[in-house]
Chains A and B, each alone.
Chain A
Amino acid sequence: EAGVAQSPRYKIIEKRQSVAFWCNPISGHATLYWYQQILGQGPKLLIQFQNNGVVDDSQLPKDRFSAERLKGVDSTLKIQPAKLEDSAVYLCASSLRQTTSYEQYFGPGTRLTVT
């Protein structure tokens, strides 16, 4: 079974530029999550999708971050414009359904450096 795929693995941009990350969850997984992991901290949930609907985006900085999962499969997370404090690893995860949210399968992450 293929795991959660993310791209790119690394990205370096200057502040005020925009960037997009892509995630393809495990086939058949209805729930998809985006996390931000700042160095030395645990992952923090940014947004959770159930199929193509948003379940929780309470910690997403909506003035600069956006995410979509249009067909209920893969997803993109965008930052525009980026700030220095956005430097982090962005993790995508999926679970079979929302009620099994404890068993999430994580991708390798995208390491973003904003200079």
Chain B
Amino acid sequence: GNSVTQMEGPVTLSEEAFLTINCTYTATGYPSLFWYVQYPGEGLQLLLKATKADDKGSNKGFEATYRKETTSFHLEKGSVQVSDSAVYFCALIYNQGGKLIFGQGTELSVKP
């Protein structure tokens, strides 16, 4: 079946450090891929998306590239801020209108 696996957290970084959160998926065909973020005390919100191979999604300085050959969608940011502290979820949808399948989430803590 379709599934998403993320690197385990928590990830603790100093401000301005480079961030990578790994995400790999298992799916038949070509799913659409997403990163959602959950800030403390708030609901999940869509951060970025990519709908086909080699697409790069980007938002708020975060980027992720849809790599079909490695079935990956790693999240990166060149310089994290304390305000980026949150839980990040990788997710996929197999077909339009289908349900979101989430990874287990990776907690990021950024220290000043």
Q: Is the CB of B99 within 8 A of A42?
A: no
User: Chain B contact residues: over half helix, strand or loop, or mixed?
Assistant: loop
* Contact residues in A for B99 (Cβ distance below 8 Å): 33, 45, 48, 56, 101
Given contacts A42-B104, A45-B99, are A106 and B45 in contact (CB under 8 A)?
yes
Question: What DSSP secondary structure best describes chain A's contact surface?
Answer: loop
Complexed CA–CA distance, A43 and B68 (Å) = 24
| B42 cross-chain contacts in A, Cβ below 8 A | 108
The reply on A22 being an interface residue by CB < 8 A is: no
**B112 sits at the interface (CB 8 A):** no
Whole-angstrom distance from the CB of B44 to the nearest CB of chain A?
4
**Residue B91 interfacial (CB < 8 Å):** yes
B 82-112 binary contact with A (CB < 8 Å = 1; else 0):
0000000101010011111011110000000
Known: A99-B97, A102-B32, A102-B34. A43 touches B102 (CB 8 A): yes
How many residues of A are in contact with the other chain, CB < 8 A?
A: 24
A99 to B97, CA, bound (A): 4
Are A109 and B34 in contact (CB-based, < 8 A)? no
Residues 32-56 of chain B, each 1 if its beta carbon lies under 8 Å from chain A, else 0: 1010000001111110010000000
The reply to whether A42 and B97 contact each other, CB–CB distance below 8 Å, is no
In the complex the two chains form, what is the Cα distance from A93 to B100 in whole Å? 11
A48–B100 alpha-carbon span in the complex (Å): 11
Complex CA distance for A48 and B97, rounded to whole angstroms: 11
Provide the residues of chain B in CB contact with A105, threshold 8 Å.
43, 45
Other 20 A-B pairs with CB < 8 A, given A4-B43, A44-B102: A33-B99, A40-B104, A41-B104, A41-B105, A42-B89, A42-B91, A42-B102, A45-B100, A91-B43, A98-B97, A99-B96, A101-B99, A102-B32, A102-B49, A103-B46, A104-B46, A104-B100, A106-B45, A108-B42, A109-B43
Q: Which A positions have Cβ atoms within 8 angstroms of B?
A: 3-4, 33, 40-45, 48, 56, 91, 93, 98-99, 101-109
9 interchain pairs (CB within 8 A)? A43-B44, A43-B100, A93-B44, A98-B97, A102-B34, A102-B93, A106-B45, A107-B43, A108-B43
